[in-house]
Chains A and B, each alone.
Chain A
């Protein structure tokens, strides 16, 4: 047994085998000897086979969890991996230039990608990314690495970025060890939010850990025991049992009132995707649902879901929590979420295209069917309707007029419904954040969607790793827009909440409450953690912090300030 000392970043104990998170390294020999060329061809062929198996699994998993339509991307990737053009180019390079399999794959995929990039069709140009993705996959397999989404046990990495933590399956991972980082670095806070034991800042010690080593991560003391003796394992197993009991206690905090020290009620709600999610929402003690994404009803279908089908789903959610506020967002499709029954719409820039409320205004029948189902379900509980992607007052007025039209229809037909459902909008387009004072007069509430708001404000595609540093909700312009929206809402006596990723980040909680948000809707997993923090805060103090943060000039200053604030609390 040996021991590593580090910084205790996230309290908790984890016992298990370690696995290194691999970073893509590109140190391979570019050429081989003529005698070795046949072996390189075989290496390529077996990598191709592994890639096909991986893509099959990915296809199946995506079809089951996201939808058949989304899974088609991987079917296309599989065809590309098998493509005769690619194989020919790779073999040619190996035969004539004695390239290594890695070099040949790199050269071939790069030249195909640049061929796509030169086409005069935006859609086709984007296919260059698919080819690059295939190149990366083959390269990783050639270098003998497993796919990152299958990490299980205790993760070891030089640093864990928020994007990494987003990709981790928390049911399979119990802790992590990093070479860099400190107690209040963003990744440590996310680890605490995820309930993972973590020891950070251990330096080069991670290099001595071998995949499969049995370790105990003691996140309280900041210690890692590698290949420990049975007696020690037993001691820690017992402590782990006690820990779990304590986790149950935190889970109970989830069921306590979500009130600040000075008595303000902050709703800590859940984001859900299907009625089946309600079980976990209730178990976590959330104060309702701040965002029900209705897309699941539409995305897998080749026909428009019927009013009855939708009514049953909305009703199921409302009836699961009849006394709590349930915010249901109308269809947010288009863009990257294409609807099969509407058919392929070719747009050069889907994120800025005909999506969400814009699409609903074109397909008004689809929209009105959804509104009918919503108003009918509304009699079962405390329904709130929310329109996505509103950018102008006109859009909001039109959407509200359609809602009124539908309510009148239902009244004429004598069908039970609720006509006075509170109506709000997502604030995710910067234009809406700027004219929040105008929009506030026409709504009952605002809910800020930070994921798109950041993407549009910073003009940075959130899936594009090359501009990832811009995709940060702690960017000063984003904070200022949030402040502007909150001010406008308060002036008009309307409530403002948030349903983006930021709402579930405990580092952001004091700031958001200080800015005047009274509802935070997040992934259910985060509910007890955020609620636990809300119960330690004072609104007055949070306001002072928020005022100060609004004067800070850079993202890193803002984060540093929030990290300092975080140290005052038990997170």
Chain B
């Protein structure tokens, strides 16, 4: 499944949000890819996510495939919508 996410928190996907995202993603069996522009990275990789250099106001495309894709999508969507608990 595919999913669009708008990153609204102030810091974008800096170290802490990136690590929260990767940790959450790693809890699921599904493969999770993040696409931004030309780049695509493993959503379970903090290095990959930070390497995208996502800033506030930018959006990402998530591609999730696997047995628990729906749950993973819901959890990640919630994490992003909550702005990673920043505010």
Is A119's CB under 8 angstroms from B47's CB?
no
Is B47's CB under 8 angstroms from A85's CB?
yes
- Given A86-B47, A344-B86, A79:B53 Cβ within 8 A: no
- Within A280-302, the residues touching B (CB, 8 Å) are none
Considering only CB atoms, which chain A residue lies closest to B53 in the complex? A119
- Which residues of the partner chain B approach A343 to less than 8 Å between Cβ atoms? 86
- Which residues of the partner chain A approach B10 to less than 8 Å between Cβ atoms? 344, 346
Is A84's CB under 8 angstroms from B42's CB?
yes
Asked whether any CB of chain A lies closer than 8 Å to the CB of B15, the reply is: yes
Stretch of B16-24, B60-68, B71-79 at the chain-chain interface = B16-24
Interchain CB contact (< 8 A) of B14 among A80, A120, A123? A123
Considering only CB atoms, which chain A residue lies closest to B52 in the complex? A119
Asked whether any CB of chain A lies closer than 8 Å to the CB of B81, the reply is: no
- Given A76-B46, A85-B47, A124:B14 Cβ within 8 A: yes
- Given A116-B51, A124-B53, A343-B86, A79:B46 Cβ within 8 A: yes
Is B23's CB under 8 angstroms from A79's CB?
yes
Asked whether any CB of chain B lies closer than 8 Å to the CB of A72, the reply is: yes
- Within A223-238, the residues touching B (CB, 8 Å) are none
Give a binary string over A70-89; 1 marks a CB under 8 Å from any B CB, 0 the rest.
00100110011001111010
Asked whether any CB of chain B lies closer than 8 Å to the CB of A248, the reply is: no
Report the separation of the CA atoms of residues A116 and B47 in the bound assembly, to the nearest whole angstrom.
9
- Which residues of the partner chain B approach A84 to less than 8 Å between Cβ atoms? 42, 44-45, 48
Asked whether any CB of chain A lies closer than 8 Å to the CB of B50, the reply is: yes
Total A-B pairs, Cβ < 8 A = 56
Is A127's CB under 8 angstroms from B15's CB?
yes
Asked whether any CB of chain A lies closer than 8 Å to the CB of B41, the reply is: yes
Asked whether any CB of chain B lies closer than 8 Å to the CB of A570, the reply is: no
Asked whether any CB of chain B lies closer than 8 Å to the CB of A485, the reply is: no
**How many residues of A are counted as interface, with CB atoms below 8 angstroms from the partner's CB atoms?**
23
Chain A: interface secondary structure? helix
- Given A124-B53, A344-B10, A85:B48 Cβ within 8 A: yes
- Which residues of the partner chain B approach A76 to less than 8 Å between Cβ atoms? 15-16, 19, 46
Asked whether any CB of chain B lies closer than 8 Å to the CB of A27, the reply is: no
Report the separation of the CA atoms of residues A364 and B70 in the bound assembly, to the nearest whole angstrom.
47
- Which residues of the partner chain A approach B44 to less than 8 Å between Cβ atoms? 84
**How many residues of B are counted as interface, with CB atoms below 8 angstroms from the partner's CB atoms?**
20
- Within A142-189, the residues touching B (CB, 8 Å) are none
Asked whether any CB of chain A lies closer than 8 Å to the CB of B11, the reply is: yes
- Given A124-B53, A127-B15, A80:B47 Cβ within 8 A: yes
Report the separation of the CA atoms of residues A83 and B86 in the bound assembly, to the nearest whole angstrom.
24
Report the separation of the CA atoms of residues A65 and B38 in the bound assembly, to the nearest whole angstrom.
44
- Which residues of the partner chain B approach A120 to less than 8 Å between Cβ atoms? 53
- Within B14-36, the residues touching A (CB, 8 Å) are 14-16, 19, 22-23
Is A80's CB under 8 angstroms from B46's CB?
yes
Report the separation of the CA atoms of residues A131 and B50 in the bound assembly, to the nearest whole angstrom.
12
Report the separation of the CA atoms of residues A346 and B10 in the bound assembly, to the nearest whole angstrom.
9
Within the complex, what minimum Cβ distance (angstroms) separates B58 from chain A?
Answer: 12
- Within A120-144, the residues touching B (CB, 8 Å) are 120-121, 123-124, 127, 131
Report the separation of the CA atoms of residues A346 and B9 in the bound assembly, to the nearest whole angstrom.
13
Considering only CB atoms, which chain B residue lies closest to A126 in the complex? B15
Asked whether any CB of chain B lies closer than 8 Å to the CB of A112, the reply is: yes
- Which residues of the partner chain B approach A116 to less than 8 Å between Cβ atoms? 50-51
Interchain CB contact (< 8 A) of B41 among A85, A123, A124? A85
Asked whether any CB of chain B lies closer than 8 Å to the CB of A115, the reply is: yes
Within the complex, what minimum Cβ distance (angstroms) separates A107 from chain B?
Answer: 15
Report the separation of the CA atoms of residues A76 and B14 in the bound assembly, to the nearest whole angstrom.
11
Within the complex, what minimum Cβ distance (angstroms) separates B75 from chain A?
Answer: 18
- Which residues of the partner chain A approach B41 to less than 8 Å between Cβ atoms? 85
- Which residues of the partner chain A approach B22 to less than 8 Å between Cβ atoms? 79, 83
- Which residues of the partner chain B approach A124 to less than 8 Å between Cβ atoms? 14, 50, 53
Report the separation of the CA atoms of residues A84 and B45 in the bound assembly, to the nearest whole angstrom.
6
- Given A76-B19, A344-B11, A83:B51 Cβ within 8 A: no
Report the separation of the CA atoms of residues A86 and B48 in the bound assembly, to the nearest whole angstrom.
9
Report the separation of the CA atoms of residues A189 and B41 in the bound assembly, to the nearest whole angstrom.
53
- 23 A-B residue pairs with Cβ-Cβ distance under 8 Å, sorted by A, are A72-B16, A76-B19, A76-B46, A79-B22, A79-B23, A83-B47, A84-B44, A84-B45, A85-B41, A85-B47, A85-B48, A86-B47, A116-B50, A116-B51, A119-B51, A119-B53, A124-B14, A124-B50, A344-B11, A344-B14, A344-B16, A344-B86, A346-B14
Binding site for B on A (CB under 8 A): 72, 75-76, 79-80, 83-86, 88, 112, 115-116, 119-121, 123-124, 127, 131, 343-344, 346
Besides A85-B42, A112-B47, A124-B50, 13 other CB < 8 A contacts? A76-B15, A76-B16, A79-B22, A83-B45, A83-B47, A84-B44, A85-B45, A120-B53, A123-B14, A124-B53, A127-B15, A343-B86, A346-B10
Binding site for A on B (CB under 8 A): 10-11, 14-16, 19, 22-23, 41-42, 44-48, 50-51, 53, 55, 86
Task: State the 5 A-B residue pairs at the shortest beta-carbon distance, nearest first.
Answer: A85-B45, A119-B53, A85-B47, A83-B47, A79-B46
